[in-house]
Structure 1
Amino acid sequence: MTDELAESDLAPESEGLDSLRALDGHLAIRSGQLRDRLLAADVQLSLAPLHGVSTALTDVQTMRFEIRDFIVHERLRRLEQLENGLARLRAVHDADLLLGTVCQAVVECCGFDRVMLSRVKGSMWRPWKSYAAQRQDAELQFRDWMAAVPEIPLDHLLLESEMVRRREVAIVEDAATDPRVSPVLREASGHRSYVAAPLMPEGRVVGFLHADYRDLAVTPLDRDVLAAFARAFDGIFERAVLLRRLREQRDQVRVTLQTVSTMLDELASAEIELAMHDHSSALSTGPARRSTQDSARGRLESLLTKRELEVLALVATGATNDRIAERLVISSDTVKTHMKHILRKLRAENRAEAIAHYLRLTLEAGEA
């Protein structure tokens, strides 16, 4: 019976987890057949046939256990390999560097032969970068295509549109017959079978990862591994972006503090005339103070609009464009436009100089 199994159609046609799962399915059927033969056997007859059936059933169950054990261990091996790769990525704190190396990282820690990174903006998506374990002429042609390819509309029938809508990883078992596959991408990439995952670092789909093998079909395990990588990468990339924003805000605050410190040093070193304590001197200097204060305030108001003054006041606190937009209930682009007008009117080269002008006039008004 064992020899019969070995020579039957239960033998796997190709290596890989899919073949093992198919084999396990066939073995499950044969196991049921053997079990039925045991239950239907006449115990009054010779025990020899029953012994043979029992032995075959034991062999089938043993083989099924070994297949499942292998599949589980293969899954654990892939996930361990993935975690090792993610550990290296977590040490990178630069968002641009992460984007530049993500394709190679997927190949190395997920085991694929080729990975493509795409960007999503609005209703369009565009293949951007790729990395292959072995560079070939076809891969070089694919990269040339990515460099020249126009943006691809996210048609509602495309697989990528489905990923944006459902925010889930997808698997394509046969790219030649799957109607969801972009014809342009299929022709340029030569995809036969692949998995794809959306990138959502802030809960919004901003890109895709497509991964495949050169000669093998992808499996559900490949889909799960890529999904695990994408979700982990979302957190890693989002952290890098937040760190960059913090560094930018820290630098802005540092420039502002340095400007204020310089101005305070200038004021402290300047000669300050004390007002006379008598009533007549106080009366004579009172209007002068008001005049100076009004003059400093008037210079700002004559140069800038009310909204520009509000923007500049927030800039002086170290607020970013996004923060200013949120505070004044306007768009970031409007804030940028106001800043351009402010810099031109104050004849300042950058935000730091604009802050210096603002603080100088403000301090003059306060000291007057």
Structure 2
Amino acid sequence: MMTERSFTQTVGGQRRRRTGGVMDSGSAASARRRAELVAQAARAHVAGVDLLRALDVLDDLEDADEIEQTPSDEIRIVDGQLAILGGVLRECLLDQGRDHRPDQVVEVSQALHEIHTVRFAIHDHVGHERLRRLDRLDRGLRRLRTVTDQDELLAMVCEVAADAGGFDRVMLSRVDEETWRPWRSHATTMGETERAFRDWIRDVPGIRLSHMLLESELVRRREPAIVLRADDDARVYGPMAQASGLTSYVVAPILSGERVIGLLHADNRDAEVVELDRDILWFFAIGFAQVFERAVLLARLREQRSQVMEAMRSVDAVLDDLATSAIDLTRRDEAAVVVSRNAPPVGIERPQALERVLTSREFEVLTLMATGATNERIAQRLVIATGTVKSHVKQILRKLRVENRAEAISQFLRLTIGARED
């Protein structure tokens, strides 16, 4: 697609990519093997077509022009061409209306054997290539699983996706309701085009997701997609393609439950993407979503744990202060007033929401309830009758509009700790 230090090589009609003059050894070996198979397939195809001509079979076929087409240099397409040619040869061999000489039967059988041999080798190569890519992907995801900080994950996701998926460029976008926001990118080699694209990402505003955009389709269907010709696809967002020099690319959604929260775009320099690239990016997006969700949940748990521990320390301080308050020779109801004045809830601010509905005594009772204290325990701490505690508890439940003590305690902790929007 670009850059100063990248160039292409044509091997068996397949464009290979190099970065900085060095090509991944696995990719280089795969490209050589692919080129060999394409060449073998072409020879088998030409031999099969020549044999059909010699047997005067092509003239009787409606799709003769398609069969005689020049073999493709794309390995999956040439495999399909061989499948069609093999089917015609097999029908020719089984046709009872044709009187073939023994030597012709041998030639057709040999041609079929060669076609099946090449097709088996193609399928074997494609399978091994997929396993190699998946193994590389797994190594990249293992690297992400060691990280538990969500900011660090977001900072490294594009680079890891490029390395694990075998891509030259990766872009991360956020999806917020009906808006698509290109956010971060990574390129294995920084050239003029990459720098211009990075500036475009920094300056581009949020893009409204319309029904015409490919990204809108991804958000709706929650599935990956492949674009083979960006200049001819009406769904492609033109400014992005122009800024990046895209020719073909793959894109996959990042899911949180059923909701799309982001997108990953990826492409290769000077090489068209294939279906395997789409699948690899999709598998990476699924793995990253799980790792990122875990990091977010861990962060929330750490924060909540810290707040709960702080609340418990404050409650403990209240209990200590109540337990160590001075005792005077007074009646029980007078002593309760003294305790109330001398032992305010230390460290727990009384939220306005509770201040409007609860009295000071009810707030003290609710504070002690939050520690798990029974009515008898609360009565001892506040030096009041158990029946009085029950009356306070009943009023607290009514005023907070809850059914039981557990719900009242939950509401108390939420309001005193301080609810925060995620």
Q: TM-score range by the shorter chain?
A: 0.7 to 0.9
What value does the CA root-mean-square deviation take over the aligned residues?
Answer: 3.6
1:322 counterpart residue number: none
2:47 counterpart residue number: 5
Aligned with residue 272 of structure 1, among 303, 319, 326: 326
Q: 1:191 to 1:36 in 2, by over 3 A?
A: same
Deviation at 1:12, TM superposition (A): 4.1
Aligned with residue 175 of structure 2, among 117, 120, 129: 120
1:248 counterpart residue number: 303
1:215 aligns with 2:270: yes
Deviation at 1:38, TM superposition (A): 1.9
- Residue 129 of structure 1 aligns to a residue in which SS? strand
TM-score norm. by structure 2 comes to 0.64
* Match runs of 1:1-368 below 5 Å: 2=44, 4-5=46-47, 11-13=71-73, 19-40=74-95, 46-262=101-317, 264=319, 272-273=326-327, 275-276=328-329, 281-282=330-331, 286-287=333-334, 289-290=336-337, 293=340, 305-306=352-353
Identity between Structure 1 and Structure 2 (%): 43
Q: 1:29 to 1:260 in 2, by over 3 A?
A: same
- Residue 200 of structure 1 aligns to a residue in which SS? strand
**Greater mean deviation of Cα atoms: 30-39 or 3-12:** 3-12
Gaps of 5+ in 2: 1-42, 51-67, 345-349, 372-399, 403-414
Gaps of 5+ in 1: 14-18, 298-302, 319-326, 330-341, 343-350, 355-368
Q: 1:204 to 1:55 in 2, by over 3 A?
A: same
Q: 1:251 to 1:51 in 2, by over 3 A?
A: same
Task: Supply the distance in 1 between the matched residues of 2:312 and 2:116 (Cα, whole angstroms).
Answer: 75
- What letter corresponds to residue 254 of structure 1 in structure 2? M
- Residue 59 of structure 1 aligns to a residue in which SS? helix
Q: Is the 8 A contact 1:103 1:129 kept in 2?
A: yes
Superimposed CA distance per residue, residues 17-72 of structure 1 (whole angstroms, 9 cap, x where no aligned partner)? xx111101111122122223323488876422221221111101111111111111
Q: Is the 8 A contact 1:159 1:181 kept in 2?
A: yes
Superimposed CA distance per residue, residues 165-203 of structure 1 (whole angstroms, 9 cap, x where no aligned partner)? 111111111111111111121111221111111111243
- What letter corresponds to residue 5 of structure 1 in structure 2? A
Superimposed CA distance per residue, residues 89-110 of structure 1 (whole angstroms, 9 cap, x where no aligned partner)? 1111111111111111111111
Moved over 3 A (4+): 1-12, 40-46, 257-268, 287-297, 303-314
Q: 1:2 to 1:216 in 2, by over 3 A?
A: closer
> How many residues end up aligned between the 2 structures?
308
Q: 1:2 to 1:219 in 2, by over 3 A?
A: closer
Higher-helix-fraction structure? 1
- What letter corresponds to residue 58 of structure 1 in structure 2? H
Task: Supply the distance in 1 between the matched residues of 2:401 and 2:286 (Cα, whole angstroms).
Answer: 34
TM-score norm. by structure 1 comes to 0.73
Task: Supply the distance in 1 between the matched residues of 2:100 and 2:321 (Cα, whole angstroms).
Answer: 113
1:323 counterpart residue number: none
- Residue 260 of structure 2 aligns to a residue in which SS? coil
Q: 1:176 to 1:308 in 2, by over 3 A?
A: farther
Superimposed CA distance per residue, residues 265-305 of structure 1 (whole angstroms, 9 cap, x where no aligned partner)? 5566x5622x43xxxx42xx6346347648989xxxxx864
Q: 1:205 to 1:308 in 2, by over 3 A?
A: farther
- What letter corresponds to residue 47 of structure 2 in structure 1? L
Task: Supply the distance in 1 between the matched residues of 2:335 and 2:318 (Cα, whole angstroms).
Answer: 23
- What letter corresponds to residue 257 of structure 1 in structure 2? M
Q: 1:310 to 1:116 in 2, by over 3 A?
A: farther
Q: 1:90 to 1:328 in 2, by over 3 A?
A: farther
Task: Supply the distance in 2 between the matched residues of 1:328 and 1:157 (Cα, whole angstroms).
Answer: 50
Task: Supply the distance in 1 between the matched residues of 2:184 and 2:44 (Cα, whole angstroms).
Answer: 51
- Residue 245 of structure 1 aligns to a residue in which SS? helix
- Residue 271 of structure 2 aligns to a residue in which SS? coil
